Structures are given as structure tokens and as C-alpha cells.
Structure 1
Amino acid sequence: MSEAEDFWERRWREMAPPRALRPSPVMVSFVAELEAGRALDLGCARGDDAIWLATRGWRVTAVDIATSALVAARARSEGLAIDYQQHDLGESFPEGEFDLVSAQYLQSPVAFPRARVLQRAARAVARGGLLLVVEHASHRPWGHKPEHDVVFPPAEELAVEIGVEPAEWCTVFLGRREREAKGPNGEIALVADNIVAFRRTI
């Protein structure tokens, strides 16, 4: 088991069972009005986004590195059209092209080739499809306090890392948004996200 797999396996195993479905509000805001098609959910955790998509007609491939997360996700989504796959995305990647590729908060405290994974994610977007990458742009007050100051690169830098070519994509949204978020014990705080949303044109 790799360091990354061990870290995320322990994290999901130690977390309390999921309660109500809590899909990413950013993902929902960009996808709610889209026509359903093929979706790839990278880092699906316990299935909140994948389940939300599947209940709206999307054919979903949902990926995570941790067995515990995938077991929980499958238990919550019986009967839905979700293909759960276990991947260490630094080593392997799902096959196929997708009308939506969603990567929500793939930041990691352990070694992870994020830029290379997101470049591969962009290549998986079909013509006319949407690439949606969302990352934390501020600390969550209920999260672990970092040992050192953490810099959150702006969305524009993230887009450069992904290597999106202007001739092949149009910008849907590129920048930072603030939103109200709820913590695990009901805490409310204003947090920020960096968002990269591009539609493939060719």
C-alpha cells in the first residue's frame, strides 16, 4: 500500500458514517442545468457528487484511492448507474472520454502529482464537455491547523498547470468565489474556492 493510499484509507475509516447527501455546492451550481451524459468524478470519497449526478441521469464513473470510501459510496448508491473504480491517480486513470470531468478538492497533504493528474483529466474531456476543477482557497476553521503558512495559488495559476490551450477550450469561469460552508459539527463560516471551468471546443 502506498503512502497516499494508507493516509486516505485511515482517514475515511476513522470518519463518522455519512448522513444526508452533501454534493459539492460549486459542482451543483455549474452542472445543474447541463444535459446529462457521461461523467467522471475524480476523488469521489463517499459518493456525494456521484450519487447526485446519477440521480439526474448521468452515467457516472467515480474514482477514489481508498477502499473504505468506495465501500461506503457503493452502500449509499445501490441501484444507481455508477461505475466505482479504485485508482491511485498518480499511477492509473480511468479509460474513456466524458462530457463532464469533475475534480473537487484534490489537494493532498501527502505526495501527489496533482498537475499531471489534472492534465490527464483535461485529456479525458470529450468535445463539448466541461472540465471543472475546484480547490480550497482558504483554511476551514474546523480543519486541522497547518504547521506552516499554506499558500493557495490562484485559479489562473492552476489553469496554467493544467495546460489548457485557448485554441481548444472556452472559459466558463476562472477565478475565486466565496461561499458559506457548514463544518462537521454544524459550524458556519465563509470560505473561498478557486474554480477552473473550461468547455472543450475541439
Structure 2
Amino acid sequence: MPDRQKDWHHGVAFGDGGPVTDDTTAGPPATDDTLPADRYLGDPAVRAEWDNRYSERQQLWSGRPNGALVAETAGPTPGRVLDVGCGEGADAIWLARGGWDVTALEVSGVALERAAGHARDAGVTVRWVHAALAEAELPPGSFDLVSAQYPALLRTPDAAAERALLAAVAPGGVLLLVHHAGMDTQQAHESGFDPADYVWPSMVAALLTDDWETQVDEQRPRVAPDGGAGAHHTDDVVLRARRLR
């Protein structure tokens, strides 16, 4: 999805992103080279769905970073970042080039292979995690920035995905959640997409407590890279929140 504007992606993205390891092993973001290359944490059906989608095209996304991510990270000093739904790796590679220590999460193994190849070509190092967000076993409170650009996170009664996003942010860190404006109010599609099945920024904002400072919560025109799926969307909803403690 970097630009992850994938249209629908579970724990990854909707629409058309100490040193870390450059591998495509799944599970917790560790440097354990013994992890099996095919270890995936999440729903196998979701993995298969997105593997099939990526396999249909040699390149699904534009290959350039998402505009909201570029704009919202113009000031912060680079630190540890989690890229939720990294797709073919454009956001993750852009962040790594900027000095960030990048962990990138994705459900599609096909996408991860492409992302890892692009990172090698770019000469940057990224830790790749093959998992859905809620099942990823990420160390809590370990990221200075959690970036979720157009994520297709499935909604559950216990708000597992929303809570996983918040839990990953370190004290003093920032959650940046960006989505296509207006999608949450659409009716269920004949294709099977139902907005009621997915997590939207307003749902995450509703979980913010006094431990958080909302810095941005607005709709704005989307700065979209040319090409790639999702280029027809014109406006973004941007939620940026800082964890105080």
C-alpha cells in the first residue's frame, strides 16, 4: 500500500510503505534468523486473498510514499516506526531513507517479497513482519511512530485492532492514522465490502484517554502519488495523536 491505497486489506491497508533485520520472517519483530520463512500470524484466508490480489499485477501501488505520511513526519526526529500494512514497501523504504528504524507489517507474503526486494535495491534495512496487526505479538509501547495509512483493519467486538494500534505507541510517541474520507458512511457493496466490518479513525479516536493528546483530527484534500490503485480518492481523514504516558 505505500502508497497503500489498497481498497480493502485486513490489518494491512486499503487503498494505493539497534539495526533491524532484512528478512521476511513472520511473528514478533525480532532478529531471530531461525524463525521459519513461512510463519504467518493471522487468518490464512486473508493472507490468500491478498496474495492473490498482488499476484494479479506486477505492481499494485505507485511505489511512492503516501502524501499524508510525508507531511506529518516533516518535523519529528527519526526513531522507531511501525508501518502497518506496508504493501510493496514504499512508505517503509522512504522512512528508512530518512533515518527511521523501521518495522513493517503485512499480511501478504507476495507483497513482502516485493517490498524486501525494493529495500535491497534502495540499500536500506527494514524488519519485515508477516502478520495481521492484532496477531503480530508486537512489543507493547515500543514505537515512536505508528503509521497506518488507509488500513483495512477488521472490526471485532473487543476492538482488538484499535487497541493494538494504541498499544504499540511508546510514551511520547505518535499514532498517525489516515483513511479515505467518506468510506465509513457508504452502504454495503455488491462486491461484499461492508464499511461496518472495518475500523475507521473515529473508532480509534473514541478510545483515546487522558493519556493521549489529539494533535490532528480533520478531513483534508489528499496528496496522492500518481498511479497505483486508490488514486480516485480525493480527501483524507487524518488522525494524529501523541501518547503522553
Q: TM-score, normalised by structure 1?
A: 0.81
Match of residue 102 from structure 1? 147
Give SS of 1:164's match.
coil
For 1:64, the equivalent position in structure 2 comes to 106
Q: Residues 180, 82 of structure 1: CA spacing in aligned structure 2 closer, same or farther, 3 A cutoff?
A: closer
Q: Which runs of 5+ in 2 are unaligned?
A: 1-42
Q: Deviations over 1:105-140 (max 9, x none)?
A: 1126xx56494212112111111111011111146x
Match status 1:159 vs 2:196? no
Aligned letter for 2:220? R
Change (3 A) 1:187 1:14: closer
For the pair 1:130 / 2:159, whether they are aligned, the reply is no
Structure with more of its chain in strand, by fraction: 1
Is 1:47 matched with 2:92?
no
> Residues 157 and 83 of structure 1: is their aligned pair in 2 closer, same or farther, counting only changes over 3 Å?
closer
Task: Report the residue type matching 2:95 in the other structure.
Answer: L
Unaligned runs of 5+ in 1: 140-144
Q: Partners of 1:8 and 1:112 in 2: how far apart?
A: 18
Residues 25/75 of structure 1: CA separation in 2 closer, same or farther (3 Å cut): same
Q: What CA deviation, in whole Å up to 9, does each residue of 1:39-86 have, x standing for no partner?
A: 000110010110000000000000101100000000001131210110
Partner of 1:120: 164
Task: Report if the CA contact (8 A) 1:178-1:190 is conserved.
Answer: no
Aligned pairs for 1:10-89 within 5 A = 10-17=52-59, 21-78=63-120, 79-89=123-133
Percentage of matched positions with identical amino acids: 31
Q: Select 2:241's aligned residue among 189, 198, 201.
A: 198
TM normalised by structure 2 equals: 0.68
CA displacement, residues 137-177 of structure 1 (integer Å, 9 cap, x when unaligned)? 146xxxxx9428966997444411xx111x21111101211
Q: How many residues align?
A: 192
Q: Is the 8 A contact 1:138 1:191 kept in 2?
A: no
Distance 1:16 1:192, change over 3 A: same
Q: Which amino acid aligns with 2:115?
A: A
User: Structure 2: how far apart are the matches of 1:84 and 1:45?
Assistant: 11
